[in-house]
Chain A
Amino acid sequence: MSLEYAKNDWYAVADGAVLERGPYKTQLLGTELTVSGPIDNPTVTDANGKRYPLQHRYSHVWTAIGDSPRPLFDIPEGDEPGRVLVPVGVVRVKCSPLRAVENFLDIAHFPFVHTDILGAEPHTEVVPYKAEIRDDLEEVWATQVKFFQPQASKSAGGGIITEYEYRVPAPTAAVLYKTCPPKPEFKDVIAIFVQPRSEEECDVWPWMALYDETSTYPELVQFQQEIFLQDRSILENQRPIKLPLDPKLEIPTRADMTSIAYRRWLKRRGATYGALTADA
């Protein structure tokens, strides 16, 4: 594990909803933290009263507990006027934070886990797409991903071929750009910000930036919660709990190209907190 590497990334640790109910106790990379105050002016402290830097971005409070944090990634669509920003709350999952991200990048499971929403039998084929590590290890991208979806989003009337692009801008965050049914010239943005509580437990903050003028806000929240909770029981049952980076331990197939790129990228960066490595 590489705790030192992980400490210098930023993590979402609170949203407006938890802060409204008073000081919020949480855990990041094994360190107990308290987030207090209103979302636009909070503080993040540990048990000894030490204060940590923070930013308020993408509807969440972000913090980093290392001495020299790398910059927080940019999601420009989050600032586009007209999009509904939907923080979906926090869901606790007993799994490696890296497994949570990897599952988010996988499309092959859609017909089986998100049946009749994100996929349906017999439309189970993952057609070839492109996965790559970009710009000196900065990000992992998967592009030209196409999949038949019975109900791709709340705003989709019926089954459509959805086009996806996936982006991994940090080891424990993933952003998905997908066809926006009411505005084909734009992409809906769906992200997960994974807060590693430890190497084997995480708090996941799904977040969306959508164009949708027909659904109610609770419908948007519940659409995403339903999908994420369908994944949760699968994630908690994956073994080994930590994500293996050695390709000999889990045999990937062609449909797993994004996962292969993600694992390779983690290894090259040394981002191995939550990974099963030789020294673990």
Chain B
Amino acid sequence: MTAFTLYNYVLSGNCYKVRLMASLLGVDYKIRAVNFYPGFEHRSEDILALNPAGTLPILMAGDLVLADSAAMLAWLALNHDASGRWYPAADPVLGPQVQHWLAFSGRLTNSAGLARLEAILNWPVDSETVRKAAVKDLRELELMLTDRVLEGRTWLVGDQPTIADIACFPYVALSPDAGLEHDGYPAIRNWLYAVRSLPSFVTMPGIHELHELRETSDA
């Protein structure tokens, strides 16, 4: 029994974050491949009927339709994480902090995410504008993560990984696809490494497995 159907595009960072969260929580789901590029199927009548915004991913679970990846991470955590640690929604401090980073992840989609689409698929956006915005967002994240490191912490919120980390991870990790390398962002590199070290982590093109952590037969 699968928990949901994901309308998916294999190169989308926002689709990937839902696949990643589902894998981390051990949730089974079905994939419906959508020809986002070159087919622009997300703008077809059938898909627009589900999501008038014409964006991917779309999550369907019974009668529930979600069209925002941050909402999907919240849904996954609230329904499939008995520990409650991935989304401490009711905590008066941690809950709102998670909300902050979910909003920040939306900014990343429109900065680093668009810069990547432009670099890979020649997306019709102003390259200079989105790249500047991406650098600004990466610097902001680097500062915040540096503060966290000075406090002896690894994750964006609290002492454990949350949906905030998963929401922000993909477009930061994928920024080298647009030539925005991580060399100047040591705290970001450290945090990316921590996310990639999570048990049941999955990859996508441009985000590689931590090779040294693979199980070997003689381990």
A13 to B10, CA, bound (A): 24
Instruction: Given the known inter-chain contacts A218-B33, A233-B206, please indicate yes or no for A91 contacting B120, CB distance below 8 A.
Output: yes
In the complex, are the beta carbons of B38 and A18 less than 8 A apart?
yes
In the complex, are the beta carbons of B33 and A230 less than 8 A apart?
no
Of the candidates B39, B119, B121, the one whose C-beta lies within 8 Å of that of A221 is: B39
For A203, list chain B residues within 8 Å (CB).
Answer: 122
Q: Per DSSP, are chain A's interface residues mostly helix, strand or loop, or mixed?
A: helix
- The count of A-to-B residue pairs whose CB atoms sit within 8 angstroms is 69
For B41, list chain A residues within 8 Å (CB).
Answer: 218
**Interface 0/1 of A205-233, CB less than 8 Å to B:** 00000000000111101100111111011
In the complex, are the beta carbons of B120 and A218 less than 8 A apart?
no
Q: Give chain B interface residues in 106-122, CB to chain A under 8 Å.
A: 119-122
Q: Per DSSP, are chain B's interface residues mostly helix, strand or loop, or mixed?
A: loop
Instruction: Given the known inter-chain contacts A225-B10, A225-B11, A229-B205, please indicate yes or no for A91 contacting B38, CB distance below 8 A.
Output: no
Q: Does A90 contact B (CB under 8 A)?
A: yes
For B39, list chain A residues within 8 Å (CB).
Answer: 17, 217-218, 221
Q: Does A242 contact B (CB under 8 A)?
A: no
Q: How far is the CB of B70 from chain A (nearest CB, A)?
A: 23
Q: Give chain A interface residues in 25-42, CB to chain B under 8 Å.
A: none
Instruction: Given the known inter-chain contacts A15-B38, A221-B38, A222-B9, please indicate yes or no for A232 contacting B205, CB distance below 8 A.
Output: yes
A232 to B205, CA, bound (A): 9
In the complex, are the beta carbons of A229 and B206 less than 8 A apart?
yes
For B204, list chain A residues within 8 Å (CB).
Answer: 226
Of the candidates B35, B176, B209, the one whose C-beta lies within 8 Å of that of A217 is: B35
**Interface 0/1 of B1-43, CB less than 8 Å to A:** 0000000011100000000000000000000011101111100
In the complex, are the beta carbons of B33 and A89 less than 8 A apart?
no
Smallest CB gap from B211: residue in A:
A112
For B217, list chain A residues within 8 Å (CB).
Answer: 122
Q: Does A178 contact B (CB under 8 A)?
A: no
In the complex, are the beta carbons of B121 and A91 less than 8 A apart?
yes
Q: How far is the CB of B124 from chain A (nearest CB, A)?
A: 9
Q: How far is the CB of B172 from chain A (nearest CB, A)?
A: 15
Smallest CB gap from A16: residue in B:
B38
In the complex, are the beta carbons of A226 and B33 less than 8 A apart?
no
Q: Does A125 contact B (CB under 8 A)?
A: no
Q: Does A43 contact B (CB under 8 A)?
A: no
A26 to B38, CA, bound (A): 16
For B122, list chain A residues within 8 Å (CB).
Answer: 90, 92, 203
In the complex, are the beta carbons of B205 and A230 less than 8 A apart?
yes
In the complex, are the beta carbons of A232 and B120 less than 8 A apart?
yes
A216 to B41, CA, bound (A): 13
For B35, list chain A residues within 8 Å (CB).
Answer: 217-218, 221-222
Q: Does B165 contact A (CB under 8 A)?
A: no
Binding site for A on B (CB under 8 A): 9-11, 33-35, 37-41, 119-122, 176-177, 179, 203-206, 209, 211, 214, 217
20 pairs of residues in contact across A and B, judged by CB atoms under 8 Å: A17-B39, A18-B38, A89-B121, A90-B122, A92-B119, A92-B120, A92-B122, A94-B179, A121-B214, A219-B33, A221-B38, A225-B37, A225-B205, A226-B10, A227-B205, A229-B11, A230-B206, A233-B177, A233-B205, A233-B206
Q: Which 4 A-B pairs have the closest CB atoms?
A: A89-B38, A229-B205, A17-B38, A218-B35
